[in-house]
Structure 1
């Protein structure tokens, strides 16, 4: 209860202190109108920053009911594709089998049963887990691994395991690792141009794709996520910074966005590197678009959020999400309902 109260106070503080806030009268008028039109408490009016002066088309933004309608639609999502996308191990194996550029799967574990080269290893102590990771570092000539919970979302259940700090990290994460299921992947070597903005996380482009009722494939929107402050996670739900991407030019557009629960800041440049976002050209952007369109040919769920990293030699498909949160892309796009395709999506849902 106390945590929820603190979160509420923090969000109210963000609104009150926002220099780009509309007048109180206009906020009250619009939020009540949003309530009537959307038939729900105007939580998203505030959560999506529709109270800001530069937002005039507040009715073009999705309500929570509309988001749920799309996310939970059995017509837009098939269970066989949803299960494949949500299971990190199945997804990694399937995409590797079909020769997609994905992070290399080195090993994985089902609780305390660890698999390396398809051979099971029973891990019942911290020392054995340290030895297990050391053997991988030596065999693969690497200095670290990225661990992801097999069914985790929003950046939760992710660890970087490094050779230089292995003992401390295993001591810290041992119980969590051996009581869950994880995939262990080689750390992506990120393109140096992306590292210029932020080098401590793998910064991914989130593409939202849609297959219409005639089978035509669409990329609805794209935005890029960046970690900050030393964090190795770029997810917006974990405090990451999001910047809109021009789909035609492959350039970052305007200011960054951040979810309200993390402060809701809008920045013209990255707080760590001071690199200006607007007009920053993303390497291999056309190749990234081609990659997601190829991916939905293989996994034709009708609406998916794809995470693409930019490696030294091209784009890398990190994961796909059938339960793609439409909150951030709706904010980034400036109101999904102004896109005529979205009217079809809601009808189909």
Structure 2
């Protein structure tokens, strides 16, 4: 990642035909240097593009780090709960948080289902284990996630109809790792029309203000591409900002720099244009997030919310969400008064 930060970002910058003129970029960087009191390396992630006229509304690297590391925003107890997907899933079931149903899980070659655990030592035993799981739960597929990985890394599906072949392919990585096994979420048909290979989730950022009100700061939607079963921008997908008032997608989305950093106006697989797409149950998704914040009152959380035919469900939560993506999707988080107040609060505390 460090090599990309230094060399890859420079290559993307040089090749981008949409960059501002040299003197304009120089002037803006000098102004940021004076105001933010840091060398604005972050400017060359996105702010150098011609379409960005409000570059002062974007968070600096120091400000992003301050939010992520703040002890007044994040309590260690909450962070552990949010960052471990197995703990979060078990806690959610205990507290009736609306999340995908936990089917089973494994810690290395010890597999647990219901109230029973067993050590798996062969492919045949693993096939027998999941045949029993599928028969008992009456489901057709299971989604696997490593408890502590980010960005969709290590995720995969296991299907009832192709169980033997799929076990053969993933056996070694499965029994050597740790995975949370949950029911596959059925996605709303209107979102499937955009891309149906992955569960395309909404990232919702919540903030508890000093006045103890819960605010939705921003939201954006992630989409997978190609044949990917995950929607994460860090795994090659892209993200599209959401108009919070209308619950609609913005005109364009963005790829991360690692994947070219370009804009996208329609899904590359389906050709579906984003502009004006009304997200089903968006207001309900925001309400679901606020309800869950009352149960896990960490002050700054990134929630991943899926939209099913029957409404929203919270897939997972992140105490350290990718704030830069939120910043770009929102069009400059410092346009938000709550974020302005938060930065002032952090400076006062520090």
Q: CA RMSD in A?
A: 1.8
Q: Which residue of 1 aligns with 2:36?
A: 38
Residue 101 in 1 paired to residue 101 in 2? Answer: no
Runs of 4+ aligned structure 1 residues displaced above 6 Å come to none
Q: Which residue of 1 aligns with 2:220?
A: 223
User: Which consecutive unaligned segments of at least 5 residues does structure 2 have?
Assistant: none
Structure-2 change in CA distance of 1:258 and 1:6 (3 Å): closer
User: Which consecutive unaligned segments of at least 5 residues does structure 1 have?
Assistant: none
TM-score normalised to the size of structure 1?
Answer: 0.94
Q: Which residue of 1 aligns with 2:318?
A: 321
The structure 2 residue matched to 1:274, chosen from 262, 266, 271, is: 271
Is the CA contact 1:203–1:225 (under 8 Å) kept in the aligned structure 2? yes
Q: Which residue of 1 aligns with 2:178?
A: 181
> SS where residue 225 of structure 1 aligns?
strand
Question: Deviations for 1:288-342, whole angstroms, at most 9, x for unmatched residues?
Answer: 1110010101111001001100001110110111111201000111111222211
| Alpha-carbon offset, residue 7 of structure 1 | 6.9
**More off after superposition, 170-179 vs 100-109:** 170-179
- In 2, distance between residues paired with 1:323 and 1:339? 19
- In 2, distance between residues paired with 1:295 and 1:333? 23
- In 2, distance between residues paired with 1:90 and 1:12? 40
Is the CA contact 2:84–2:147 (under 8 Å) kept in the aligned structure 1? yes
Question: Deviations for 1:255-296, whole angstroms, at most 9, x for unmatched residues?
Answer: 011111111121111111111101001111111111001010
- In 2, distance between residues paired with 1:348 and 1:9? 35
Residue 291 in 1 paired to residue 288 in 2? Answer: yes
| Alpha-carbon offset, residue 168 of structure 1 | 3.9
> SS where residue 298 of structure 1 aligns?
coil
Residue 117 in 1 paired to residue 114 in 2? Answer: yes
> SS where residue 193 of structure 2 aligns?
helix
- In 1, distance between residues paired with 2:52 and 2:329? 12
Q: Which residue of 2 aligns with 1:248?
A: 245
Equivalent residue pairs, number: 346
TM-score normalised to the size of structure 2?
Answer: 0.93
Is the CA contact 1:15–1:21 (under 8 Å) kept in the aligned structure 2? yes
- In 2, distance between residues paired with 1:247 and 1:6? 33
